[in-house]
Amino acid sequence: MGSLAKLFLCHLICATAILVAAGEEARREADRVTNLPGQPPVRFRHYAGYVKLRPNGQKALFYWFFEAQHNVSQKPLVLWLNGGPGCSSIAYGAAQELGPFLVQKNGTDLLLNKYSWNKAANLLFLEAPVGVGFSYTNNSKDLGKLGDAVTADDSHVFLINWFKRFPNFKSHEFYLAGESYAGHYVPQLAELIYERNKGATKESYINLKGFMIGNAVINDETDLSGIVDYAWSHAIISDKLYQSVKACNLMNAAAIANNCSNHFKGFMEAYSGIDIYSIYTPVCLHQASPKSNNNFLAGSRQLTMHDLWKKVPSGYDPCTENYADIFFNREDVQRALHANVTKLPYPYTPCSGVIEKWNEQAETVLPILHKLMNAGMRIWVYSGDTDGRVPVTSTRYSINKMGLRVKGEWKAWFHKNQVAGWVETYEGGLVLATVRGAGHQVPLFAPQQSLSLFSHFLSSKPLPSF
């Protein structure tokens, strides 16, 4: 190739890069949210909209991004994921738990969250996979192919494309965080990023440093045994029922079908009058809560306790999901957030009603935790200790199963001179912390303590001991 041809090619490549960058900048500015109904005045910027996964593909994932309240360029970037599977990180994490704007009872006003996690980081919320919230696919067959692996892969592609739209954040330290079934999403996505980073180009490399998961589903066997032990130790079930359920969990499928269905149903019904996700707080009396355990008892005669328990969704709060439902179904809100641009044929719901089935689900993510600890990632696992759905007993049993050597013995940690929970650290860097008096959604029930926990995770500083 002659020098003139090389020069022409160079100019062509540079011009193309400039055009692409200009296009992404225009898309970013188009995503900026400037007139969200009911929003209190703030100085930080936020953006919402769609990222198409592949140029010729039919999937698009919806995000809502909040810059940090101060020192944006110095703060890390954190992706938050809720679980389900099939529940929205925007309807729950952003609008009810740790985002800067909390949806109020009337569905019109937003409350400024004094303990929003964007005090400590730039916060990105993602609705994944397709079929969750505003995220969509133009190929309905995609909804029947979802599972853990598809969710991780689509989320990774989303991040690569999102960084093209927000290139200023590409060099920031990047962390993942989430709760409940995000105990699968977060480690699986972290592993995928880690593996693909090995052969990544400068454009596709993601600066992942670690992750944090709360009240997390991480190991089926210990999760289930911890659920039963928690119910008994908190006086929710009788000694007799406890012994019967424990015995049934050791039986084969035929014996369970013949002898155990009534025991399993009795276990579930023990929670029917209380909120399984926060056992000491009042239940919602204004409506039939979607968490009612009776909804999950039908057709359960031939199921094991494990199968039956999977029918109880993760990620609800008794009443507040109704407020989010109302708010995000408003047309003026959708316009402001650049959402529902394809006019989905179904209403917005905090947990998806269109995902047909979950095809692939790992029984454990403990090997991933081991692998990424050995790779030097920062990993914190936390647990609100009044959650009966993914209780602290399950989390402790799961961490114990990893066989890690204790580095810092179990001790109290403090917030404002009060015990906020307990913490133990392990060789290899893993930290296990509890949050005292918090239910399944820790930032909702203990906002100050959760912000302190989050800030210490980001800084890799020990939790306060006084």
Catalytically active residues are 180, 387, 440
Residue given tokens 């703030």 in the structure block: 42
Residue type, 362: A
Token pair belonging to 77: 């970037």
Q: What is the rounded distance in angstroms from the CA atom of residue 39 to the CA atom of residue 282?
A: 29
Token pair belonging to 289: 């809560």
Find, among 88, 62, 61, 80, the residue nearest to 314 by Cα. 88
Which residues, in sequence order, are CB contacts of 228 under 8 Å at separation 6+? Answer: 242, 245, 246, 249, 267, 305
Give the burial string for 43-68 (b: 16+ CB within 10 Å, else e).
ebebbbbbbebeeeeebbbbbbbbbb
Helix (H, G, I), strand (E, B), or coil: what is residue 184? helix
Residue type, 328: F
Residue given tokens 């008892």 in the structure block: 297
Residue type, 186: V
Per the omega criterion (within 30 degrees of 0), is the bond before 367 cis? no
Q: How many CA atoms lie within 13 A of 274 on its CB side?
A: 20
> Left (φ > 0), alpha (ψ -120 to 50) or beta: where does 39 sit?
beta
Q: What is the rounded distance in angstroms from the CA atom of residue 227 to the CA atom of residue 144?
A: 30
Find, among 161, 198, 193, the residue nearest to 174 by Cα. 193
Token pair belonging to 348: 């917005």
DSSP string covering 118-139, please?
GGTSEEEEEE-STTSTT-EES-
Q: Is the dihedral of CA 226, 230, 236, 242 positive or negative?
A: positive
Q: What is the rounded distance in angstroms from the CA atom of residue 440 to the CA atom of residue 390?
A: 7
Token pair belonging to 92: 């729950």
- Residue 143 near residue 34 (C-beta atoms within 8 A): no
Cα 289-389-317 angle, rounded to 5 deg: 35
